[in-house]
Amino acid sequence: MEFKEIKEKIKSFVKKEIIALEPWILNSDWSDKLPKLDQIREKVRVNKLWLPQISKQYGGLGLNNEQFGEISEILGASPYGHYCFNCQAPDAGNMEILIECGSDNQKEQYLYPLLEGKIRSCFAMTEPNFAGSNPTKMGTFATKKGNDYIINGHKWFTSGFDGSSFAIVMLITNPKTDNPHKRASQIIVPTDNKGLEFVRNVSVMGHSGSGWESHAEIKFNDAVVSTSNILGNEGEGFSIAQKRLGPGRIHHCMRWIGMCERSFDLMCKRALSREISQGIMLGNKQSVQNWISECRAEINAARLLVQDAAKKIDAHGSYKSRADISIIKFYCAQVLQKVVDCAIQVYGAKGVTDDTILSYYYRHERAARIYDGADEVHKSRVARLILKEYLK
């Protein structure tokens, strides 16, 4: 299929098969909605739209970052779009680093079942006692003993841990090295490991979630795993993390733009349909008109920024595009919050109820300005890179 055909097929599928089911899906427990979502996933596979972000060699559509960015916008309109196409975080990132860094045995045991959608995975990096914006500082350690690692530590916001088969864990293996970027490694830990303790699913804005929608707190208490479970070599954890974060932020940002477009559509329809007095509609009010104009301009600008960053990653790699990646991360997160907030304001009281998708967006995506690096961290990074060029 040509990319244009793929894009149109996915757009039609999301509208007919996923968004149409949302009123039921959004208000169901994970265990109740999972059988229906599995049916949708099978339809995606039958329609040959499975794994759009993965190369054809591994059974995907082989889209580049720029193309998958456009697909992410379409899938992002629904909270379950990416899940139904098996390109959801954190599984998508884990697939990519297993393809690039995994051994043949790791691919056989973990990657191929993940690609087939038979299992889920999670990524454990964030810790309650250390700033998440500084991945060089962690309190989870893996000590080598013979042919094994003994792991001890405490993680949380391990998204999707509940029901997953394995975790890729970022931890310290080389604490004495002078280079802080060489202290960490990434190790695969099966979630049924006897030393892995599930503490709880962290409640986020009143919703604890379960299954793929969960954010777990976990502990490692002398968890034993083979040294063959390490991804790449010791000390490569930070560099491996950078490989997944660059393209991952493209996907996140385009997903947010998909939410923006849907919120914008709802806002405009509400402005034209809600009468406030004697034939005067909400859309006649200058404040509402200002919101519509500003949101349209900012969504367009955000999309162009992301597309430009995606082209640069495809052409030059993530490292040389790191300023562009940071720019889209903080800019798009702010645009998302503004557009959703304006849409809720136009809807009034109904906007904060679960009768629309807007309250879901607002609850779940306030964190967009925090996860994958807080806005302030990215702004500081961009400024440093700019000033570094002036120093030259």
Q: What is the tens place of the pLDDT at every residue in 242-262? A: 877 767 788 889 999 999 999
pLDDT at 1: 82
The pLDDT of 122-138, averaged and rounded, is: 87
Give the CATH number for residue 293: 1.20.140.10
> Is pLDDT above 70 for 225?
yes
Same domain for 224 and 167: yes
The CB density around residue 163, as the number of other CB atoms within 10 Å, is 17
- Residue 252: half-sphere exposure toward Cβ, Cα within 13 Å: 27
Strands 166-172 and 148-159: unpaired
Residues paired with residue 286 on neighbouring β-strands, in sequence order: none
* Cβ–Cβ < 8 Å for 75, 258: yes
Nearest to 287 by CA among 267, 305, 316, 302: 267
Same domain for 374 and 242: yes
Query: Does residue 107 lie within any of the structural domains?
Result: no
Query: Does residue 276 lie within any of the structural domains?
Result: yes
For the chain, give the percent of residues with pLDDT over 90. 82
Band of pLDDT at residue 392, cut at 50, 70 and 90: confident
* Cβ–Cβ < 8 Å for 259, 181: no
Band of pLDDT at residue 289, cut at 50, 70 and 90: very high
Residue where one domain finishes, among candidates 231, 248, 265: 231
* Cβ–Cβ < 8 Å for 145, 135: no
Structure tokens at 107: 């691919």
Range with the poorest average pLDDT among 18-32, 137-151, 352-366? 18-32
Residue where one domain finishes, among candidates 200, 231, 262: 231
Give the CATH number for residue 94: 1.10.540.10
What is the span of the domain harbouring residue 142?
121-231
Band of pLDDT at residue 276, cut at 50, 70 and 90: confident
Query: Does residue 115 lie within any of the structural domains?
Result: no
Same domain for 219 and 246: no
Same domain for 157 and 198: yes
How many Å apart are CA 73 and CA 82, to the nearest integer? 10
pLDDT at 372: 85
Over residues 199-222, the pLDDT tens digits come to 999 998 887 789 999 999 999 999
pLDDT at 27: 78
The CB density around residue 45, as the number of other CB atoms within 10 Å, is 16
How many Å apart are CA 353 and CA 347, to the nearest integer? 10
Same domain for 216 and 81: no
Band of pLDDT at residue 187, cut at 50, 70 and 90: very high
How many Å apart are CA 270 and CA 149, to the nearest integer? 57
- Residue 79: half-sphere exposure toward Cβ, Cα within 13 Å: 21
Structure tokens at 189: 């830990």
Give the CATH number for residue 215: 2.40.110.10
Same domain for 210 and 81: no
* Cβ–Cβ < 8 Å for 298, 305: no
Q: How many domains does the chain have?
A: 3
pLDDT at 22: 84
